[in-house]
Chains A and B, each alone.
Chain A
Amino acid sequence: DIVMAQSPDSLTVSLGERATITCKSSQSVLYSSNNRNYLAWYQQKPGQPPKLLIYWASTRDSGVPDRFSGSGSGTDFTLTISSLQADDVAIYYCQQYYSSPWTFGQGTKVAIK
């Protein structure tokens, strides 16, 4: 199984400041034939299901604010919130869909400082 490791486990950021979450996979999730990274990011607020933010490592899902961006390739990925808003308080998960079983990182809790 591909193990996904996120860091940090939690972070507090001031409103309007940048938040950065990293995700590392135990093996590459880059498929060479199409040059796509099979990596997604989700946001989960209390009492709600996860919501897809980013897929193919850097493509924002429809309606996702452009303050959210994803980057990285191979085994190392980053989710950046460029200017943290109160509505961004949540737990964020990365997920690989390169190889079954699909696996998630342990989650990163983002709070306001």
Chain B
Amino acid sequence: QGQLVQSGAEVKEPGSSVKVSCKASGGTFSSYTLNWVRQAPGQGLEWMGGIIPIVLTANYALKFQGRVTITADESTSTAYMELRSLSSEDTAVYYCARAQGGGFDAFDVWGQGTMVTVSS
């Protein structure tokens, strides 16, 4: 079935950056799309972007373009999401989620989530 394990909680100051990792196990890493979805406290789900490891091609939501970078390391089956110029509005739980193939599929496996708190 597969599993995604994310890095631990982070506390960041406004204006700084955060990098969250997502390590995959089970299945073939390069055959999936790894997506990043965030959820602000008490709010809904928001897709930020995704990457297809086999071609290292990332696709971003317009809202985050220029401020987020998603990368993948096939050698360690790990995806990363870096978000820059943080503000309090970026305080949220960040999830990685797997989709089959090129991304036109449901998110069948989710990481446990990483809480990012932006505060001075």
Q: Which residues of A contact B (CB under 8 A)?
A: 38, 40, 42, 49-52, 55-56, 61-62, 93, 95, 97-98, 100-107
> Which of B11-19, B43-51, B67-75, B84-92 is near enough to bind chain A?
B43-51
Main secondary structure of the interface of A (DSSP, over half): loop
Q: Are A40 and B106 in contact (CB under 8 A)?
A: yes
A-B CB proximity, top 10 nearest: A40-B106, A55-B106, A49-B110, A104-B45, A101-B61, A102-B47, A107-B44, A52-B108, A106-B44, A49-B95
**Interface residues on chain B, number (Cβ under 8 Å):** 22
Q: Are A101 and B62 in contact (CB under 8 A)?
A: yes
Q: Which of B1, B59, B95, B105 contacts A100 (CB 8 A)?
A: B59
Q: A97-B99, A100-B59, A101-B61 are in contact. Are A50 and B107 (CB under 8 A)?
A: yes
Minimal Cβ-Cβ distance residue in A for B99 = A97
Instruction: Give per-residue flags for B97-116: 1 if the beta carbon is below 8 A from chain A beta carbons, else 0.
Output: 10100011111101111000
CB distance from B105 to the nearest CB of A (A): 6
Q: Are A97 and B61 in contact (CB under 8 A)?
A: no
Max chain B Cβ within 10 angstroms of own Cβ: one of A55, A97, A103: A97
Minimal Cβ-Cβ distance residue in B for A49 = B110
B46 proximity list for chain A (CB < 8 A): 104
Q: Are A103 and B47 in contact (CB under 8 A)?
A: yes
Mind listing 16 A-B residue pairs with CB under 8 Å? A49-B95, A49-B112, A50-B95, A50-B107, A52-B107, A61-B106, A61-B108, A62-B1, A93-B44, A95-B45, A97-B104, A97-B105, A100-B59, A101-B62, A104-B44, A107-B44
CB distance from B112 to the nearest CB of A (A): 6
CB distance from B54 to the nearest CB of A (A): 18
Q: Are B113 and A49 in contact (CB under 8 A)?
A: yes
B108 proximity list for chain A (CB < 8 A): 52, 55, 61
Q: A50-B110, A51-B110, A61-B108 are in contact. Are A100 and B103 (CB under 8 A)?
A: yes
Q: Which of B47, B106, B110 contacts A101 (CB 8 A)?
A: B47
